[in-house]
Amino acid sequence: MDSSSSSPNNNNNHHASTTKTNGFLIHPKLGFEPARSRSRLAMASPANTSEPKIVTGTAGYILEDVPHFTDYIPNLPTYPNPLQDNPAYSVVKQYFVHVDDSVPQKVVVHKDGARGVHFRRAGPRQKVYFEADEVQAAIVTCGGLCPGLNTVIRELVCGLHHMYGVKKVLGINGGYRGFYARNTITLTPKSVNDIHKRGGTVLGTSRGGHDTKKIVDSIQDRGINQVYIIGGDGTQKGASAIFEEVRKRGLKVSVVGIPKTIDNDIPVIDKSFGFDTAVEEAQRAINAAHVEAESVENGIGVVKLMGRNSGFIAMYATLASRDVDCCLIPESPFYLEGPGGLYEYIEKRLKENGHMVIVIAEGAGQELVSESVQSMSKQDASGNKLFQDVGLWISQKIRDHFAAQKTLPITLKYIDPTYMIRAIPSNASDNVYCTLLAQSAVHGAMAGYTGYTSGLVNGRQTYIPFYRITERQNHVVITDRMWARLLSSTNQPSFLDAKGDNEEKEEEEALNQLPDGHCAKDTSLASKEINSSIYPTAC
């Protein structure tokens, strides 16, 4: 199967060219068979939720498919895709996505290994399940701010209007609770024309407020049949619950997620929108800290960046800047006192260079922060743990340490650009990415897909089932080459003792081994169950 092949002459309603057996698709062309681990998957799934759609083929091919209207609503009519008559797309050859197109989760494989997990490729299909006049779409933003939110809103509205002729689009004001608070904004291409030039979200946002039944009641009452939900992992869990309730009621409503997290901690996807902008803006703060530090004797600049559980922004900003002497992230524990500790390293760098810059992610070192037990037990409205300000804490600890030593007087400047970074408009790279995410989401909803997240996998737009997005968080792997590159760039110690370091390396190597007949590590529920039951040689 060539994931890049497309043809306008093939009927892309995959349900017209497949048959269903026990809830799984069997494709006559590829010879797919229903997954034999179906019952085990069902047992592992949350109660009252639909089972994952797993399609298997030859050579260990596994497609983790997304739900479709025809899975639970029979005899739905289809319509020709209006894009085929759209003059803007008349010059595009092979525009419609082929029924067999999928995108592999891993591109590096062993020549004798299984073909691995794939996702359905995003894009327009020749047949759609909505007429333009019947569509009543709704868009909602939830959680914290992130560069690019307004761009996604704009492109959803413009994509629905210009590509499919949809005129009725509502903006739900104030996050999930806006569904049952009756707060809506009418969105048109004219009203959203310039919003991508502003930071934040024109729809407003909030944390928490998720009452699934009330939300679906509101969707029914308003006649909404397409819901676009922009938010992080907690928001996507809410979107999954909304989809399950919609499916349970048998409603023809597409529930579509667009992943948003400035921390880049959503799994499977290459990156989240706003991440490039955040890294770029973080460099400005690092540069300011560097200027301050090198302008005085024994100057130290401390910059706190976003990253509650994942240190991607801190890591990439450090690599991009080249002015950082030490980067501290949640995934890599560190200690302050003693040989190999942070204090010793700071003293060494100050004696060598006369100044240094420290970047710390907001979730790093929380176990060291005073009163951490009390702070870790508290949560915000979204259920996230409330962390103490590690930037202020570590700045004070460094000051106190060197004041007590009285051998090396220091001048420390602390910079926290967190909310400045969150509130800026997205840069050019993220604007393009937001456009692709939004348009892919629209194509999928019009084609009758539901219960999925639009995301980039290995450079291709895909449709990812909700359970893959919400199963875990994405973390920096500190035994990976990227973290090694950072350590090489900063020359900082790993802050791990030899025993702990060796144990982590051995564990990672064991998981990532690629001997003959084995595949690379894959932590998805579906792939673990299928690999263990159908393909005993898979890892």
Residues labelled catalytic: 263
Between CA 56 and CA 20 the distance in angstroms is 13
What strands, in cross-sheet order, belong to the sheet with 326-328?
A: 326-328, 355-361, 299-305, 411-415
Residues 511 and 123: their CA atoms lie apart, in Å, by 34
Q: Which position has the token pair 């942070």?
A: 342
Specify whether the CB–CB gap between 212 and 242 falls below 8 A: yes
CB 130 within 8 Å of CB 224? no
Cβ contact 414:398 at 8 Å: no
The pairing of strands 116-121 and 61-65 is parallel
Residue 362 annotated as part of some ligand binding site: yes
CA dist 435 and 358 (Å) reads 35
419 is in an annotated binding site: yes
Query: How many other C-beta atoms lie within 10 A of the C-beta of residue 364?
Result: 28
Non-local (6+) Cβ contacts of 103 within 8 A are 3, 118, 119, 120, 121, 457, 458, 460, 462
Q: CA 191 to CA 178: how far, in whole Å?
A: 20
163 annotated among ligand-binding-site residues? no
Single out the residue of 475, 480, 471, 426 nearest to residue 453, CA to CA: 471
205 assigned binding-site residue: no
208 is in an annotated binding site: yes
Annotation-wise, does 478 bind a ligand?
Answer: no
> Was 261 annotated as part of a binding site?
yes
Do 164 and 137 touch, CB atoms closer than 8 A? no
Query: 451 among the known binding-site residues?
Result: no
The reply to whether 420 sits in an annotated binding site is yes
376 is in an annotated binding site: no
Tokens for 524? 């998805």
Q: Is 444 annotated to bind ligand?
A: no
Other beta carbons within 10 Å of 238: 27
Amino acid type, 419: Y
Tell me how far apart the terminal alpha carbons of the chain are, to the nearest angstrom.
Answer: 23
Reduced to 3 states (helix: H, G, I; strand: E, B; else coil), residue 526 is helix
Residue 201 known to bind ligand: no
234 in Cβ contact with 383 (< 8 Å)? yes
Instruction: Find the length of the chain.
Output: 539
Q: 325: closest CA among 309, 303, 295? A: 303
DSSP H or E run through 27: none
Which residue's structure tokens are 């539901």? 450
DSSP state of 118: E
Residue 53 DSSP symbol: E
Residue 481 CB partners (closer than 8 Å, separation 6+): none
Q: Is 315 annotated as a binding residue?
A: no
What contacts 505, CB < 8 A, 6 or more positions away? 479
Ligand-binding annotation for 263, yes or no, is yes
Q: Which residues are annotated as a binding site for ATP?
A: 144, 207-208, 232-235
Binding residues for substrate: 261-263, 306-308, 362, 419-422
Which residues are annotated as part of the binding site for Mg(2+)?
Answer: 233
The binding site comprises 144, 207-208, 232-235, 261-263, 306-308, 362, 419-422
